[in-house]
Every structure is written in C-alpha cells, then in structure tokens.
Chain A
C-alpha cells in the first residue's frame, strides 16, 4: 500500500494547574478593558501543523503522538498535548 500525505494539527497548552500568564494578560489587560467582560478565561498554547507520510489517518495520528512523546515536543510536566485534526492531503 502506498503512503499518503496527511496533515496533523497539534496544540500544546499549559496544564490547568500551571498558570498561563499569556492567556491571563489577553483576558485581563485587553478583552476585559475593551468591554468584553463576558470573557472569563483565556488559555494560550502553541500550534504545530505537521505534514507527514503515512499509510492511513490513524497511523499518521499515532506517529505524531509517539514523536511528541519520545522527543518531548511537549513537556509532560507542564503541558497537555491535543491532536486537533488529522486530514488527508488531496
């Protein structure tokens, strides 16, 4: 079976118990001050868009998860890893 190209979108965020001053500043010093007081919380993160070859969608996701764990692309002490989307390139 030939390899297909996939895009895996990954987001890294600080764990809930690790403060996120970037998100706090956006919420407190920008949104709240400009009248968006309905916004109670903002959390920031890092976004990675990874293009890779794999047999199928599930494999692409597994490889990215493994890679992120093995090479500490995310730091498990402070961060959570979320896979947002896996899409096949046409």
Chain B
C-alpha cells in the first residue's frame, strides 16, 4: 500500500522541509507539502503539523493557526482514525485547538533553548510510539522558547495514560536538571485519549539520520516507523 502523508504549512512554519525530507527520503513514503488554506484532508493517511513560528507566534504560539480551516479537517481525520502528529509549534497548535490537553508556556528560563535532550517513553501504545519500548530513552533535540507544558488537569492526564514522553537525564531519571523548560512533571509530549494524536516539543525529524546526531542515533525514525505500522495495521 502507498502511504500518503501531508505536511501542513502555515505562514511561519520552518521545519516543514526537514519533515518532508525525512518522510520522503529516509522513510521512503509519499509526503507532500500542503498550504493550510488548501488542506482538506484529501486522501492522506496522516498529517504532520511541523515546527516553526506560525503566524509569528502573535498573541500566543499556535493560537492563530488553531483557527485555520486545516484544523477542522485535522479533527475529522482523527475521527476517521488517521493519525496526526504536532511537532514543537505543531504541538502548540494542537493544544490551542483543544485536540490535545494542556498548554505550552514560556520556558521558565525565558530563553530560547536549542539542544539535544533525552526523553523517556511513557506510553508506547500510540500511533507514533508503537515501535518503541516503554521506558526506553531517546536522543532528540529541542528548539523552542515556549515549551513549558502546563495543565490544570494532571490527574486526568495520568489516569488516561496520556503522558507519552518525559524529559530525563541519561540514566532515565526525570530530575529537575533534566527538565529543560520547567514543564509540569517533566512532560515533553502528550496524546489524546484515542491515541491517534501526539504532540511533543522535541523534533523527531531532526533525529532521524545518523549524520545529524552527535550520538549517531536515529531515534526520530521510530516515530515515523510507528506511524507507518499504525496505518498498515488499519489504525491500531
């Protein structure tokens, strides 16, 4: 089967081409850039909301893009069990659109942080983590100014097992030092209740080729491998 993925572009997206490259040239699937106003779900099996600064991050990161008609179609795709991932700014858009719980606030350091971190897989039963081992530690870079995860409903998130990744140190401990931005409980990524929508601040598309990783790892590929598995298995 041919898997077709849309990478949705907003004015100010800047990780769209990296994501497209990884999907097409590393994962070997068919991915296309689609301008947000022209996106209507089409015959895509999945969609990626890439990183960047959609609409200049005015008012709040992701809020303007969350009102784009593309998000209505994304919601429909999720209802049809077609997986959607929001990376960095894409995560901010998904929370502002209320497709994912919580919100992303300014880093507690007030600084833009760009570095490689470690995250631990807390839930490997999602459309984007099914090829990972629960508890495994991934090498992955972050690059954001507003990535401090906050929710006023932490208990519900835990009860529903919606915390997918937490920032940890090399040994896998979720310490304060390992938390780059002040996120609540070191949360780096969350999913919806249906497990077909994932949002995270780190960038899997920047961690999918050996040449880009100081550790020589390609843990980012696992996200897209999982997505391909999920689609091939017909959405589970």
Q: Which residues from chain A sit less than 8 Å from chain B, CB to CB?
A: 14-15, 17-19, 21-22, 25, 46, 71-73, 75, 77-78
Contact with A21, one of B63, B102, B103, B106 (Cβ below 8 angstroms): B106
A17 to B150, CA, bound (A): 10
How many angstroms between the C-alpha atoms of A22 and B107 in the bound complex? 10
The answer to whether A17 touches B96 (Cβ under 8 A) is no
Number of chain B residues close to chain A: CB under 8 A = 20
Checking A15, A19, A25, A72 against B152 with a beta-carbon cut-off of 8 angstroms, the contacting residue is A15
Chain B residues whose CB sits within 8 angstroms of the CB of A15 once the complex forms = 152
By the criterion CB–CB under 8 Å, are B67 and A71 in contact?
Answer: yes
**Minimum CB–CB distance for B173 against chain A, Å:** 22
The minimal Cβ–Cβ distance linking A10 to chain B, given in whole angstroms, is: 12
In the assembled complex, the CB of A81 is this many whole angstroms from the nearest CB of chain B, namely 13
**Residue in A14, A21, A73, A78 whose CB lies within 8 Å of B109:** A21
B110: Cβ under 8 A from any A Cβ: yes
Question: Across the interface, which residues of B come within 8 angstroms of A19, CB to CB?
Answer: 105, 108, 148, 182
Is there an interface contact between A78 and B66, defined as CB atoms closer than 8 Å?
A: no
**B60 touches which one: A17, A21, A75 (CB < 8 A)?**
A75
Bound complex: CA of A19 vs CA of B103, how far in Å?
Answer: 13
**Which B residues fall within an 8 A CB radius of A?**
59-60, 63, 66-67, 95-96, 102-103, 105-110, 148, 150-152, 182
25 contacts between A and B (CB under 8 A): A15-B152, A18-B105, A19-B108, A21-B107, A21-B110, A21-B182, A22-B106, A22-B110, A25-B110, A46-B59, A72-B63, A72-B66, A72-B96, A73-B59, A75-B63, A75-B103, A77-B95, A77-B102, A77-B103, A77-B150, A77-B151, A77-B152, A78-B103, A78-B105, A78-B152
List the A side residues contacting B107 at CB < 8 Å.
Answer: 21
Report the separation of the CA atoms of residues A22 and B63 in the bound assembly, to the nearest whole angstrom: 20
Other A-B pairs beyond A75-B96, A77-B103, 14, CB < 8 Å: A19-B105, A19-B108, A19-B182, A21-B107, A21-B108, A21-B109, A22-B110, A71-B67, A72-B63, A73-B59, A75-B103, A77-B150, A78-B103, A78-B150
